[in-house]
Amino acid sequence: QVQLVESGGGFVQAGGSLRLSCVASGRTYSNYDFAWFRQAPGNEREFVAGISWKGDSPDYAGAVKGRFAISRDIDKDTVYLQMNDLKPEDTAVYYCAGGWYLNSGYAGHYAFWGQGTQVTVSS
């Protein structure tokens, strides 16, 4: 079993930045692909960004492309999401997910999920 723990969320003004971290523990294997999803109240969980188990092939949702960057430190079993130029519409709970379908936008393809971290962006 793999446990994922996110951190780094918070409250920020529009135009600001945050960096989310996701640390994997338990029976970790280096060949998981990882992704960040987010879910705002009343909305479905949506794909934000993904990265391969090797730390390459990043992919982004159109709404965040050019503003967010996903990266992975394999030695630390940690995935990051650098979020710049944040907008009020980025407000959501952000979830880290791990699985074997690289950059899939379907939440059901991911076997492991963190508990989520709240990001709130004020206008």
Interval 72-101 mean pLDDT: 95
Strands 10-13 and 117-122: parallel
- What is the rounded average pLDDT for all residues in the chain? 94
Query: How does strand 10-13 pair with strand 68-73?
Result: unpaired
- Backbone φ and ψ for 75, nearest 5 degrees, come out as -65, -30
pLDDT of 100 > 90? The answer is: no
Q: Is the pLDDT of residue 18 over 90?
A: yes
